[in-house]
Amino acid sequence: MTFQLLQPTSLAEACALLAAAPHDAVPIAGGTDLLSEIRDGTAEPSTLVALDSISDAGLTGISGTPDGGLLIGALTTIADIAAHDGIRSHYAALAQATAGLATPQVRNLGTLGGNLNQRPRCWYYRHPLTVCLKRGGDRCYAVQGLGKYLCVTGGDRCFIVHPSDTAVALTALGASVSIASPDGERTVAIADYFVGPDVDLLRENILQPGELLAAVSLPAPAAGQRSVYLKAQERESGDFALVSVAAALAVVDGVITDASVVLGGVAPTPYRASGTEDYLRGRSVSGVSTSDAGDLAIADPRPLPDNAYKLPMASNLTARAVSTLLAGG
Ligand SMILES: Cc1cc2nc3c(=O)[nH]c(=O)nc-3n(C[C@H](O)[C@H](O)[C@H](O)COP(=O)(O)OP(=O)(O)OC[C@H]3O[C@@H](n4cnc5c(N)ncnc54)[C@H](O)[C@@H]3O)c2cc1C
């Protein structure tokens, strides 16, 4: 297929170009996901708006914020995030999520903005000949088909899982995102950025036509905070999560003062394991049963016929994450 490539030099210009053609123009960053969608016929934009020609400060790179946190520009590559000293020391879950994601080639080209906005990997959605609900069709083929990799909770007519490892880690770390629009910029908690099929079958986030994700900010880590990212996958490299967990615990004087536990691979959006968090918060480290913490991970399981294996996997991975953090890992 043919398309035109536009190369704006500012975020404002990029937003204006996207707003002018809401159904035909899409942003392109590293192209590692979008170009395969175009090649496979699952996306057919007539216009690509390149982000790498934009020179606005903060769109690329990682810098400190006045409150002791970090600001990561949307065009920062996955490889640069994985290698950043401040992220490796203070936000281990994000460092581990980025270091283990995809392949070296994808990490060198792929950007944070592209990773958070990549489209689902459901093979019915990605198949050129099956026009499923997510592509404006009239049915979900997975319901009668193969659901091995799909969600075990939160599905509603469509049963995708959110594919991004960084989304899971950033949600657990309490990040927020800056959204550039033709009218300026707004900031929302990343937990409110993603939407499931119950809210919108066609999109996975709250971006409106003409809007772009500009940056992600991480708050300063709480006192005594440690975090970890664990991922179960079929192949050792280049594979998406069957189930993943990002956990951040703050431990002060032997007591868990805060707990944030988020799962990937189980729901259409990063899934907050509220039961596990409630169990851990305020509990002394010596009083924690990691298997109890793991068993509480998914409160409302609704597996498809062939993916119930994800439930014990989620419990075990959560238990292991908690145990790793309480052991000082
Ligand atoms: C072999 C392979 C294995 C992979 N394994 C994993 C994995 O294990 N875990 C994982 O998380 N990911 C994985 N991925 C996905 C990969 O990480 C993404 O393809 C990559 O991060 C996308 O970044 P990009 O800059 O290339 O995005 P692009 O391909 O340029 O864009 C992707 C999507 O995001 C939109 N977009 C890009 N930037 C912005 C922005 N700033 N604001 C709004 N929308 C934007 C585009 O319009 C497009 O729809 C894998 C990909 C491949 C090819």
Residue 16 has pLDDT above 70, yes or no: yes
Distances (CA, A) of 276 to 47, 122, 186, 292: 45, 28, 31, 8
Helical spans, DSSP H, in 200-309: 274-280, 290-295
Q: Which atom of ligand 1 is nearest to the CA of 26?
A: 47
Is ligand 1 within 6 A of the CB of residue 229? Answer: no
For 17-58, the pLDDT digits (tens) are: 999 988 899 999 999 999 999 998 899 999 999 999 999 989
CATH 3.30.390.50 fits 225-326, yes or no: yes
Which of 107, 115, 126, 262 for a ligand 1 pocket mutation test, highest count of atoms within 8 Å of Cβ? 115
Indicate if ligand 1 lies below 6 Å from the C-beta of 213.
Answer: yes
Read off the tokens for 221: 């880590």
Average pLDDT over residues 295-311: 97
**Alpha-carbon torsion (279, 165, 193, 53), positive or negative:** positive
**Residue nearest ligand 1's atom 31 by CA:** 114
Query: What is residue 329's predicted lDDT score, i.e. its pLDDT?
Result: 56
Q: What is the pLDDT of residue 7?
A: 98
Domain residue spans of the chain: 225-326
Measure 280 CA to ligand 1 centroid, in angstroms.
33
Is the C-beta atom of 103 inside 6 A of ligand 1? Answer: yes
- With H, G, I as helix, E, B as strand and everything else as coil, classify residue 269: coil
pLDDT tens track for 212-236: 999 999 999 999 999 999 999 999 8
Grade residue 238 by pLDDT with cuts at 50, 70 and 90: confident
Using left for φ > 0, alpha for ψ between -120 and 50, and beta otherwise, residue 17 falls in: alpha
Q: Among 24, 32, 98, name the best residue to mutate to test ligand 1's pocket (greatest count of ligand atoms within 8 A of Cβ).
A: 32
Edge-to-edge strands of the sheet including 184-189?
62-64, 70-73, 212-218, 176-181, 184-189
Taking the model in full, what pTM does it have? 0.97
> Is any atom of ligand 1 closer than 6 Å to the C-beta of 60?
no
CA 195, CA 67: separation in Å to the nearest integer?
29
